[in-house]
Each structure stands twice: as C-alpha cells, then as structure tokens.
Chain A
Amino acid sequence: MSKIATVGIVLVSHSAALAEGTAELASQMGGGLVHIVAAGGTDDDGLGTSIAKVRKGLALADSGAGVLVLPDLGSSVLTVRALIAEGGPLPAPLEIADAPFVEGAVAAAVAAATGGDVKAVLSAAEEARHARKL
C-alpha cells in the first residue's frame, strides 16, 4: 500500500486521547492511504497543546505533498501559529483548517486519499461545517 504523495493531516487537540482516537477513525476512513498524525496534549501529556508535539507531527505527516493542520478548539490555533512564527523547517504547502474536528478530519482524510492537493483537502475539511448529520 503506497503512502507516497498524499497530503498529510495533523490533528491538534487539547487531549492526546481525542487526537489519537480521531486519527484512528480518520485513518481507517482514508483507507490507510494517508498520513494522519495525532498531536494532542501538553509535553507531559496533560490537557493542553504543545508546540513540540505539533512540530513533530508536521514532520511525520509530511510526505512531500504538503500538510493540513486541523485544530480542535480556537486556542489550538494559537499553538500552531506560534510554531509557524518560531520558524524552522515546515512542510510546504501548510494550511490550517477552520472546521469541526471529527467531521473535518474524516472529510480531509477521504479527500487526501483521493489524491487531492492541500487546497482540495482544506476545502473538504471546511465544507464539513455545513454537513448535517440529521
């Protein structure tokens, strides 16, 4: 099974368990074709976010086609933005999705599995804001 050249996805959550569970679900729905990495919790695995964990996640998720970051709550965005401001090596292109966490992760995983580029994967994740489940 090839994992080459699909867009990677990093799930940034305040909870390591939430990020890992969502990554497990989205990975399966992406048919195992997509690098989906959980970056949840603080450095000592408490509730919160970690620049170091997100940076490691970006490196793991990047297979050359770029990476989409999906934050769980607004303050996760601050961590991602702080990391970008720090500089250092980052995937390119890199986008942050403004999307619901679970639905956005699943939609992004499926879009990445079809070979979509970062813009297409971002768009799939953000369309999840409008998806009804009832």
Chain B
Amino acid sequence: MFLTIKIIKMNCQLCQKESDAYREGKLPPDMRIQVEAHLKECEKCAESYRLQALAERVINQEKEIRSNPFLSTRIMTRIENIETPGYETFPAFRRILNPALITVSMAAAILYGVMVGNIYQSGQSKNSIPVELALIDDATIESVNTLSNE
C-alpha cells in the first residue's frame, strides 16, 4: 500500500484562507505542512497571521468576561413588574432627566445671580438722598440762630 501525499500549490490567498483552520489545528497534515512552510517564507502572510492571532486573543479574552450573577434575577423582577403603570417609562425618563436637570440648574443659577444683582442695585439707590432734599440750597437758608434772635 502506498501513502498518497497531496501536493498543493500554496500561495498567499490560499494560506490566508486556511489560516483559521491552521490555528485551530483542523487542517489535514499535508495542508498543515504546506501552510507552515509558506508562513516561514512569506513575511506578509506571517504578519497577517500574527495580527489575526492578536484579534482572536482579544476576542477570546472578552468572551471570558462573566456577567453579574444576579442579572437573571433583575430581569425576572423587571418582567414581574412590567404591568406596573409607568414602571417601564422610568428608565427612559431617567435618561432624559439628567441633562434636563443640568440645564434647568444652570438657568436657575443665572437667574438667581441676576435677581441678587438687581436687589443689590435697588438697595444702593435707597441710600441716596431724596429729590426734595437734594434741591435745597444750604447757602440761601437763613441760619436758625438768626430766626431765634428775632
């Protein structure tokens, strides 16, 4: 019995197409040998293979992140409360509330500053001399002593 080895003409396109299977160890031996030989010779394919391996590593690490163990409980609680009027609108309401509150607070602060400024200004005007007194010319008024001596 003779063992038949399939000779494949390896090129960059084929190598990149088979790189996933090569990394996962799913290639038949003859193809695996061909891909390995090509990766040793071709720097472009070798670089491409390293970048693919990097992407796979990042994806695998993200896959390992586990969700909160109480997530299912939270979901069930929300489903149970789903008939409560207005309950489902609350999360959306909260998403709008934060920016709206910030805007209203800013407007209130500006308005407050303007009001305080106005009160301060009107307070100052109360300390000024009344019009009637301002019109009196001291030089033309007779002295009180003169009047009392008469």
Determine if chain A interacts with chain B. no
Q: Which residues of B contact A (CB under 8 A)?
A: none
